[in-house]
C-alpha cells in the first residue's frame, strides 16, 4: 500500500445520506478522487454519542456503553477494554500529534479518552473548521485528526430532516469542510493523507425532527474516503458500518486493530486488500 502519513476524519452530524439532495462541491471533489457510498449503516440506537462512540471505538453501543448523558457528564475511562482509535494511535506513536475539533463538546471530553494527549477544541462550526485548517497549516505532521461539524443535525431538529432548511445546513457544512480540504491542498498533504467524510446518523424516520430509531432514514448514512491506495470513483465494495471506520483508520496508519474491535476493513477498499 502507498504510504499514508495522516488520517483526517470529518464528521457531518445528522446528515444521514441526504447529501444526495444537496449541492456539495467539496464532498464531490473527494468522491471523485476516492470511494463513496450512500448506503452505509450506523449504530443503534441512532443517537450521536452511540454512533460517534462506535466510529471512534470500533464496537457497538452495547460494548462502549456511551450515551449522550454519559458523554456529557463523564470522561471515557482511559482503561476501557474498548480503546478509541486515538488511544490505539497514541500507544503506537507516543510522540505523534493527535487532534480533535468537535462542535459538540461531549465528543472531546466524554468519548475520546482524556489522558492520552490529544489536542482538543470546541467551537461553532465555521470557527471550528477554520481553526482545524489553521492547525493543519501549523502542524502538517499531525497523525490523526477528527473534526465533527454539527449544523445538519441542529437544522434537522429545528426544521426537519431532508428539508430545504436542512439541505442548506448540509451545504454550509460542505463549505466548512472546504476550509479543511483547502488547507491540506495548500500544504501539499493530500498526496499522503487519507481523508474520511462520514455522518453519524440521519433523521426523520419516525418523527420529522427527530432520530434514534432503526428506520432507514435514521439508520442510513453516507461514507466517503480518498487517499493513497483508494481507487478513484470506486463504490464501497462491501456494505460498511460506522464502526468499520476505526478499522479503516488502523489499516491506513499501519496499526494493529485491537482484537476486541468489531470493526472490519471493507474488502477491496484499498488496492491490495481484496481478500
pLDDT value of residue 2: 76
pLDDT tens-digit profile of 200-215?
A: 999 999 999 999 999 9
Note the pTM of the prediction, 2 decimals. 0.97
- Strand 193-199 relative to strand 220-226, pairing: antiparallel
Q: Within 10 Å of residue 68's Cβ, how many Cβ atoms?
A: 14
pLDDT value of residue 1: 62
pLDDT tens-digit profile of 128-170?
A: 999 999 999 999 999 999 999 999 999 999 999 999 999 999 9
Q: Torsion angle, CA of 87/92/95/96, rounded to 10 degrees?
A: -70
Instruction: Identify whether the C-beta of residue 1 lies closer than 8 Å to the C-beta of residue 268.
Output: no
Q: Which residue ranges form the domains of the chain, and what is each CATH number?
A: 6-252 (3.40.720.10)
Rounded to whole angstroms, the Cα distance separating 2 from 275 reads 18
The residue with cell 462502549 is: 64
pLDDT tens-digit profile of 259-275?
A: 999 999 998 899 876 54
pLDDT value of residue 243: 98
Amino acid at each position: 500500500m502507498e504510504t499514508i502519513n495522516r488520517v483526517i476524519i470529518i464528521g457531518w452530524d445528522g446528515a444521514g445520506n441526504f447529501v444526495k439532495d444537496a449541492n456539495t462541491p467539496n464532498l464531490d471533489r473527494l468522491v471523485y478522487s476516492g470511494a463513496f457510498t450512500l448506503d452505509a449503516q450506523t449504530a443503534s440506537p441512532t443517537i450521536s454519542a452511540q454512533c460517534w462512540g462506535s466510529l471512534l471505538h470500533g464496537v457497538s453501543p452495547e460494548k462502549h456503553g456511551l450515551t449522550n448523558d454519559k458523554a456529557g457528564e463523564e470522561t471515557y475511562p482511559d482503561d476501557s477494554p474498548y480503546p478509541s482509535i486515538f488511544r490505539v494511535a497514541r500507544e503506537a506513536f507516543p510522540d505523534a500529534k493527535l487532534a480533535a475539533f468537535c462542535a459538540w463538546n461531549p465528543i472531546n471530553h466524554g468519548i475520546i479518552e482524556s489522558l492520552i494527549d490529544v489536542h482538543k477544541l470546541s467551537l461553532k462550526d465555521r470557527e471550528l473548521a477554520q481553526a482545524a485548517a489553521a492547525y493543519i497549516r501549523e502542524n502538517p505532521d499531525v497523525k490523526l485528526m477528527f473534526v465533527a461539524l454539527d449544523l445538519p443535525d441542529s437544522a434537522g431538529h429545528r426544521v426537519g430532516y431532508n428539508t430545504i432548511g436542512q439541505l442548506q445546513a448540509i451545504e454550509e457544512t460542505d463549505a466548512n469542510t472546504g476550509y479543511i480540504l483547502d488547507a491540506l491542498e495548500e500544504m501539499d498533504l493530500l498526496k499522503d493523507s487519507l481523508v474520511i467524510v462520514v455522518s453519524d446518523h440521519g433523521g426523520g424516520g419516525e418523527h420529522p425532527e427527530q432520530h434514534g430509531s432503526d428506520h432507514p432514514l435514521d439508520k442510513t448514512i453516507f461514507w466517503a474516503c480518498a487517499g493513497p491506495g483508494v481507487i478513484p470513483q470506486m463504490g464501497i465494495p462491501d456494505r460498511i458500518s460506522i464502526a468499520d471506520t476505526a478499522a479503516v483508520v488502523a489499516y491506513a496508519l499501519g496499526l494493529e486493530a485491537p482484537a476486541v474491535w468489531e470493526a472490519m476493513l471493507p474488502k477491496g477498499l484499498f488496492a491490495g486488500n481484496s481478500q
